[in-house]
Amino acid sequence: MTLIFVLVNELDSRRGKLLKAIRIHHHGGVEQLRHEETADPKLQSPDDVIVHLKAAALNFSDIQVRQGTDGKRSCLPRILGSDGAGVVAAVGSGVKEFKIGDAVCLYPQNGCATCWACRSDHQHLCEQPQRLGEQIDGTYAEYLRVRRQNCFPLPAGLSYEEGAAIPVDYLSAWHMLMTDAELKPGESVLIRGIGGGVATAAMQLALSFGALTLVTAENPEILSRALRLGAKHGIDERKQDFPPEVRRLTAKRGVDVVVDCIGGDSWAKNFAALNRDGRLVSCDASGGAQPATDLRRIFWHHLKVFGSSLGSRDEFRRVLNYVTTNSIKPIIDKVYPLADAAQAQERLAQGQHLGKIVLHEDG
Ligand SMILES: [Zn+2]
């Protein structure tokens, strides 16, 4: 196979420089995050793209991969990170839609390429997922080889940090609100656990879509920030039982949609916060994965329950268009140098943030 490797200025910039990444060789605590030299990624197929990463955003799944918990034990060593944005540094001979120097953000998952899901461009439904930072090396790196299908133009007006914040969380939030729940302008949405990336993205999308948006948290400071960002009502779950409070705030009607990124024993309470024919979308279970629930409420009240993790490439395209058209700026909590990934993950684990925690390339 003959490949035409287009390696010009970007490659020159890499010569003589030690490329660094954050890689784990064993599962465990933050001490397993090694900031170390890595091999220069090479083009291996005509559809490959080498991306010079300028920013990588954190997800809680990064911590699960590091720990090897929640079914996320990875083949090691592994460079972490599912979210990234940067500049195209090299393209294979089959890549015509991107050229060296283009700013891109990355769709975070590939599939087997042969199953019905992959053939219909629904890689998020593939039974053999290849997610950046999990089954394949990820974005906590200076350079990364991806497929052309992973690359999308960075929306105009966004920084690399903001672009890196979009893929996992805004795609997941879009899939939950627009595809699963079919949110309509003027409907009401309750977003639990505001502060986390998906919840914050869901809040921004719901607000821009004209939904009455209620949020919950266990931190009054985070609730105050969410209200300043446009949420209509904030409920402190440490002090208030949220279903009756939601009823009080919605003239006893309940909300049309609940976004739950928590799970745990309070999960079943979501049903009591929904109006009849309401929709519950669930995307995480950090509070517990096996809550007890009363199924009768689901069919008595004609409720619909959706599970969600990422979305399709077509949905990602829609998200990027929507972000651009509506001038949405992802909310960045804090930015760390790549070398300080351990500090960044510790902040994420503490759960005191609102929006995305981002790594930028080492200066
Ligand atoms: Zn597949």
pLDDT in tens, 119-153: 998 888 999 999 999 999 999 999 999 999 999 99
Say if CB 280 and CB 301 are below 8 A apart.
no
> Mean pLDDT across the chain, nearest whole number?
92
**At 16, is the pLDDT very low, low, confident or very high (cuts 50, 70, 90)?**
low
Which H helix or E strand runs over 48?
strand 48-57
pTM of the model: 0.92
Q: What spacing in Å lies between the alpha carbon of 166 and ligand 1's midpoint?
A: 23
pLDDT average, residue stretch 235-243:
95
Q: What spacing in Å lies between the alpha carbon of 144 and ligand 1's midpoint?
A: 22
Q: What spacing in Å lies between the alpha carbon of 182 and ligand 1's midpoint?
A: 26
**At 348, is the pLDDT very low, low, confident or very high (cuts 50, 70, 90)?**
very high
Residue 333: per-residue pLDDT: 94
pLDDT average, residue stretch 97-101:
97
User: How large a percentage of the chain has pLDDT more than 90?
Assistant: 80
Distance (Å, rounded) from C-alpha 187 to C-alpha 167? 25
Query: What is the DSSP track for 167-203?
Result: HHHHHHHHIIIIIIS---TT-EEEE-SBTBHHHHHHH
Q: What spacing in Å lies between the alpha carbon of 114 and ligand 1's midpoint?
A: 5
| Residues 150-159: tens digit of each pLDDT | 999 999 999 9
Residue 15: per-residue pLDDT: 55
**At 4, is the pLDDT very low, low, confident or very high (cuts 50, 70, 90)?**
very low
CA distances from 93 to 2, 3, 7, 15, 35 (A): 9, 6, 11, 22, 32
Q: What spacing in Å lies between the alpha carbon of 119 and ligand 1's midpoint?
A: 7
pLDDT average, residue stretch 282-301:
86
Instruction: Identify whether 77 is preceded by a cis peptide bond (ω within 30 of 0).
Output: yes
Residue 75: per-residue pLDDT: 86
Q: What spacing in Å lies between the alpha carbon of 309 and ligand 1's midpoint?
A: 15
Q: For residue 284, which phi and psi values (nearest 5 degrees)?
A: -160, 160
Cross-strand partners of 219? none
**At 2, is the pLDDT very low, low, confident or very high (cuts 50, 70, 90)?**
very low
Give me 337's structure tokens.
Answer: 């140098």
Please state which of the ranges 70-84, 129-143, 205-219, 267-281 shows the lowest mean pLDDT.
Answer: 70-84
pLDDT average, residue stretch 10-14:
53
Residue 287: per-residue pLDDT: 79
Q: Which residues contact 140 (CB under 8 A, 6 or more apart)?
A: 21, 22, 23, 56, 62, 79, 80, 81, 133, 338, 341, 359
Amino acid at 119: R
**At 347, is the pLDDT very low, low, confident or very high (cuts 50, 70, 90)?**
very high
Q: What spacing in Å lies between the alpha carbon of 311 and ligand 1's midpoint?
A: 14
pLDDT average, residue stretch 276-295:
88
